[in-house]
Amino acid sequence: MNVGGHRCCETNRGRIDECTKRTRRCAVVWGLWFDGAFWFGTGSNTQKARNLAKNPNCIVGTQNAAEAVILEGVAEMITDTAMQKKLERPSLKKYGLSGGDGSEPLFRVTPKRIFGFIEKSFPKTATRWTFD
């Protein structure tokens, strides 16, 4: 993943923490960093989709804790079929999957803050990016 022109760790799966009013929910998702945001899909009837409809604030973290990237942002459901088509090639390249036929929700998590560090050289490598 590249953030603000900096290379961050590559991973197949991200973890999305959905914050609700009373509880904190967590789910594992596969996703892509594309065009300045984290993108993922899920079924329209999943708990993930229902939680994000109630409260779109979320946290996404990479699978590799040794090269951690933690994104705080807001998830937005995207229904633009042209964007789904744009994501098809990177999804095929990364996962060997097209990302579906467009019948299920696609989410874009726009970052508010991103934290990153490499465990072996922490705290020297700790970095934070803030977005408007």
pLDDT of 34 reads 93
Residue 86 lies in a domain: no
Does the residue 91 lie in any domain?
Answer: no
Confirm if 3 and 69 have CB atoms less than 8 A apart.
yes
Number of domains in the chain: 1
Supply the pTM of this predicted model. 0.77
Mean pLDDT of the chain: 81
Question: Is the confidence at residue 8, as pLDDT, over 50?
Answer: no
Q: Does residue 92 form part of some domain?
A: no
Q: Is residue 88 part of a domain?
A: no
Q: How far apart are CA 71 and CA 25, in angstroms?
A: 16
Q: pLDDT at position 24, please?
A: 59
Is 34 within the bounds of a domain?
Answer: yes
d(CA 20, CA 57): 8
pLDDT band at 27 (very low <50, low <70, confident <90, very high): confident
The CATH number linked to 24 is: 2.30.110.10
pLDDT, tens digit (0-9, with 9 covering 90-100), for 46-57: 988 998 999 999
Asked whether residue 57 is assigned to any structural domain, the reply reads yes
CA dihedral for 32, 35, 36, 37, sign (positive or negative): negative
Residue-range definition of the domain harbouring residue 55: 2-81+97-130
Segment 67-71 mean pLDDT? 91
Q: Among the listed ranges 46-55, 83-92, 100-109, which one has the minimum average pLDDT value?
A: 100-109
